[in-house]
Structure formats: C-alpha cells, structure tokens
C-alpha cells in the first residue's frame, strides 16, 4: 500500500533534475534543470490542488483494515487535499465468504439488476464486520503461535546460557565433576536402591555402567563392592572417579585440558540441540490432533516438549562424561614422536621408463594384386567377345 512513501502533488522536481544531470559532476546543469522543473511543478501543483488533490481508487478491500487505511493515507499527505473510494464486487473473496448470499438475496427482492452499483451503509458495515472477523482469527493464530514459540524460547535460553558459560570459562572443572556426581547418584539409585536388601543389588550392572561411563574397571581397581553399604559404596566410587579424572588432568597442562573440556561440551550440546529442535518441529506438526481427544494441544505440547528437553539434557550429560573419561589426548612427547616418525619415513621413489624393444619375427605383409582390374560389364580379357560377368566373371 505504499507505506512510507509520500506522493508529491505536481511531480518531484529534484528527482526529475537529478535524472537529467548529476548534481556532483554537473552542478550548474543540475541547478538549471532544477529551476526549470520547479517552475513547472509550481504550476502543475496548483492545477492538482484545484482538482481536489490526489484521489485513491481501490479495486478491492483487504482482509485487514490497517492495509486499507494505509492505502487511503497515500492521499492528503502533509495538509494536502485528497480523497479515496473503493469499488468491490460481491464475488470478491471477502464478500463471498462473509455475507455475500444475504446481500444478493436482498438485491433480488429489490429488483436490482446485475452490474448495478450498491451504495448503502449496510454494505459498508458488512465489510467492516467481515474484516473484524478475519482480523480476530489472524490474531488468535499469531497468539497461538507465540505461545508455542515461548515454550521453545525458554529451552533456548537455558541452552544458550550453558554455552555462554562454557565459552567464557565460568564452568571449568566443576561442571564435568558435577555431571559425574549426578550420573553416579543415578546409577546407584538404579542398581543399588536403598529400599532393597544389599544381596539383591545389581552389582554386575553397576560394574558395567562404571566401565561405560567412567572407564573404571572395578575388579582391576580392587574395589570390593559386595562388602560395602550404600554410603561407603558411594564414597568409594566417588573417590575412584575423582582420582581417575585427576590422573587424566595431570598428563596435560591445565589450559589444554580446559580447552578439551569446552570443545567436548560444546560439541555434545550443539549436536543434541539441533536434533531436539527437529523433534520439536515434528511434535508441533501433529499436536493439534490432540484436540480430537478432548485435550488441550498447548498443554500437551508443553508437557511433551519438557520431557524431550529433559531427555536431551540427559543425553548431553552422558555423552560429555563418556568422552571426557574415555578419549585420550596425545601428550607433547607423543606428538613430537609422531612428527619425527613422519619425517623419518621417506616416500618411495617411482621411476618410469619405456619397455625395452623385443626383437622378433617380421610380420608378413599383405599381398597386393597389381593386375588391372576388369569391370563386370567390360569385355572379357580371354578374347571371347563376351562380357566379363558372363564369361570368366
């Protein structure tokens, strides 16, 4: 609807002069053209003002009254006179969906013929009422979409805060150790719950989980889990985990290992977050069908998206701990040794040469017939007088 555009009555002398001459390269020519166009503009502007200013003709009404008002606002700018008028058809989308049949029935009763203009307040009110209904529906759609986006935005804020803290180095060693402690408590609750008798504990599953998460072999470490209560068991395992992590840290400079922790954390978070966003998109596509089961789709989306977010966080934490306790960083001595080995290994030299000539028997040459060739219709060379094809041919 030309939002942000002022139509100058009588034309734009500056634009016309600029099209004729560049004000920077040809300032004198530009000023001359500008004065000439300003004289014409003043005269034509008076003619337009005398005619009533700019008149807007609209061939349809938009679903939003705001767009119609913007179109009307092209006239009457900065105190200039102006007017507007809209022409509609009963077959337009806005009229066809909202109230067209009733108005057509009224026209038939009044005996109005097709193509005859209708100017009545009832028609204007019907159009305005239809626009209000469409605007209300669009508002509800935007509000509904905003509520869905708000759920994702809260999760996004939590993830971005974690990434920002990791990048700024606020987490440090405390973050992976906090994750390890939480995973240890979860493993103990799963395999060694306090409400069960110690003889019923799943110590085999606990050993397998310790090896998978913390790369700790309980048997090789001399941990006798059968003889410990729940408090002693937790303290013993936590001590073994701390010693294991401290031992891995001591092999490298602190700044190198902190960088390693940041890269592992960011890799796990970014990868899982992208998968989580894709899962939320799939969830949002079909969540509206929950309404057929007398359930609020928004509440269902909030509940299931929270469950997906919690599952994603657990995957991220498990992935971080497994990689931090299992991936071995190369030391400076190992890197130097690998570099020396690469330098010591020489690439094999490849020499190219043509194959030697092998003396062999001379190939026989084809026999060439040097006699004169006789055509089929030529006289036969034997002297019989017949054609060659009927004699010796």
User: Are 296 and 207 contained in the same domain?
Assistant: yes
How many Cβ atoms from other residues are within 10 Å of residue 264's Cβ?
Answer: 19
Q: What is the pLDDT of residues 21-67, one digit of tens each?
A: 888 888 889 898 889 888 888 888 888 888 888 888 888 888 777 78
User: Are 61 and 158 contained in the same domain?
Assistant: no
User: Are 185 and 290 contained in the same domain?
Assistant: yes
Is 262 inside any structural domain?
A: yes
The CATH number for 240's domain is 1.10.3060.10
Is 8 inside any structural domain?
A: yes
pLDDT band at residue 124 using 50, 70 and 90 as cut-offs: confident
DSSP assignments along 295-334, one per residue: --HHHHHHHHHHHHHHHHHHHHHHHHHHHHHHPPPPPHHH
> What's the pLDDT at 78?
75
> What's the pLDDT at 150?
84
How many Cβ atoms from other residues are within 10 Å of residue 251's Cβ?
Answer: 13
pTM of the model: 0.54
Kindly list the distances between the CA atom of residue 221 and the CA atoms of 241, 262, 301, in Å, as whole numbers in the listed order.
11, 29, 47
Is 293 inside any structural domain?
A: yes
User: Are 71 and 160 contained in the same domain?
Assistant: no
Print the domain residue range for 289: 154-329
Q: What is the pLDDT of residues 218-240, one digit of tens each?
A: 877 777 888 788 888 888 889 88
> What's the pLDDT at 203?
85
Mean pLDDT of 242-263: 88
Is 148 inside any structural domain?
A: no
> What's the pLDDT at 293?
83
Q: What is the pLDDT of residues 336-369, one digit of tens each?
A: 788 888 877 755 556 555 566 655 566 666 665 5
Count structural domains, the chain. Answer: 2
> What's the pLDDT at 270?
93
């Amino acid at each position: 609807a030309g939002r942000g555009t002022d139509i100058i009555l009588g034309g734009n002398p500056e634009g016309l002069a600029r099209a004729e001459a560049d004000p920077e390269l040809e300032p004198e020519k530009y000023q001359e053209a500008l004065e000439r166009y300003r004289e014409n503009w003043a005269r034509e502007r008076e003619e337009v003002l005398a005619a009533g200013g700019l008149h807007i003709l609209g061939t349809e009404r938009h679903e939003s009254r705001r767009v119609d008002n913007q179109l009307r606002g092209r006239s009457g700018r900065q105190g200039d006179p102006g007017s507007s008028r809209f022409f509609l058809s009963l077959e337009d989308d806005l009229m066809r969906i909202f109230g067209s049949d009733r108005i057509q029935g009224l026209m038939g009763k009044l005996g109005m013929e097709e193509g005859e203009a209708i100017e009545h307040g009832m028609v204007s009110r019907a159009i305005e009422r239809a626009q209000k209904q469409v605007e209300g529906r669009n508002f509800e759609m935007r509000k509904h979409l905003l509520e869905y986006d708000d759920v994702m935005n809260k999760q996004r804020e939590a993830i971005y805060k974690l990434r920002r803290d990791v990048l700024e180095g606020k987490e440090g060693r405390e973050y992976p150790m906090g994750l390890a402690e939480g995973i240890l408590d979860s493993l103990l609750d799963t395999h060694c719950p306090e409400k069960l008798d110690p003889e019923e504990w799943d110590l085999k599953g606990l050993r397998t989980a310790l090896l998978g998460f913390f790369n700790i072999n309980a048997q090789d470490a001399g941990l006798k889990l059968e003889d410990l209560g729940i408090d002693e068991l937790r303290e013993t395992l936590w001590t073994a985990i701390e010693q294991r992590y401290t031992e891995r840290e001591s092999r490298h400079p602190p700044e190198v290992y902190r960088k390693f922790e940041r890269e592992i954390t960011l890799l796990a978070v970014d990868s899982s977050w992208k998968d989580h966003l894709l899962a939320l998109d799939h969830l949002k596509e079909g969540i509206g069908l929950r309404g057929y089961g007398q359930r609020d789709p928004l509440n269902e989306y909030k509940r299931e998206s929270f469950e997906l977010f919690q599952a994603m966080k657990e995957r991220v934490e498990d992935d971080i701990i497994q990689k931090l306790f299992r991936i071995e960083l190369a030391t400076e001595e190992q890197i130097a040794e690998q570099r020396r080995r690469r330098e010591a290994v020489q690439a094999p030299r490849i020499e190219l040469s043509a194959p030697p000539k092998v003396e062999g028997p001379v190939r026989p040459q084809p026999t060439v017939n040097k006699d004169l060739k006789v055509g089929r219709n030529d006289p036969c060379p034997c002297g019989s007088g017949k054609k060659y094809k009927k004699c010796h041919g």
